[in-house]
Amino acid sequence: MVPTSILLIGPSGVGKTTVGAALARALGLPFHDSDGAIERAAGRSVAQLFAAEGEAGFRARERATLAALLAGPPAVIAVGAGAPLDPATAAALVTGGRVVLLDAEPAALVARLGAAADRPLLAGAADLGARLAAQRAVRDPHYRAIAEQVVGTDALAPAAVADRIATWLATAPR
């Protein structure tokens, strides 16, 4: 049994939601997608929230949503890609559960994301690969600073990634 939440972090398109759902099934835990929870509570999409409130407004909602999810029973939580950049959110993630970074090269992310029209910080990029590489340069140190484990998703099916995480959880002391 996993006595704490499992928090999946990483760039957009890395598979946090898909892997998270598979991992939750394997561990018998509830699954939450923080962006989905924000959208349900606000009655608007992430893109609409960014347009109406800006990134700062969205990040405040994200911080509150993650705090509420972490206050609940143990779960697998797919964390929004930009959340770990906020120091308060990063601290809450570290104290709130086991943090796993899902990682992939920008080329793999481009293939998964397509036009990324629903991702506010990627939408309209003339060169999605370049935008993802620039984000990676900024975000990767934040991700790695709080991650206990890193799992590459480039060449693995979501179920295989979930299996790797479950195996690590069963063998890694806390």
Tokens 């347009």 belong to residue: 51
Q: 5-171 has which fold?
A: Rossmann fold (3.40.50)
Are 148 and 172 in contact by the 8 Å Cβ rule? The answer is: yes
pLDDT at 154: 87
Q: What is the mean pLDDT of the chain?
A: 88
The whole-number pLDDT of residue 1 equals: 46
pLDDT of residue 46: 85
Give the whole-number percent of the chain exceeding pLDDT 90: 63
User: Any residues with CB less than 8 A from the CB of 89 and at least 6 apart, and which?
Assistant: 59, 62, 63, 66, 83
Report pLDDT for 104: 87
Q: Residue 100 has what pLDDT?
A: 98
Contact criterion met (CB below 8 Å) for 35 and 120? no
Q: Please count the other Cβ atoms lying within 10 Å of the Cβ belonging to residue 80.
A: 24
**Beta-bridge mates of residue 97:** 5
SS3 of 92-154: the string is HHHHHEEEEEEECCHHHHHHHHCCCCCCCCCCCCCCHHHHHHHHHHHHHHHHHHHCCEEEECC
Relative orientation angle of helices 128-146 and 106-113, to the nearest 10 degrees: 120
Which residues of the chain are modeled with pLDDT < 70? 1-2, 111-129
Cβ contacts of residue 18 below 8 Å, gap of 6+?
158
What is the pTM for the complete model shown?
0.89
The answer to whether 76 and 5 have CB atoms below 8 angstroms apart is yes
Model pLDDT, residue 55: 85
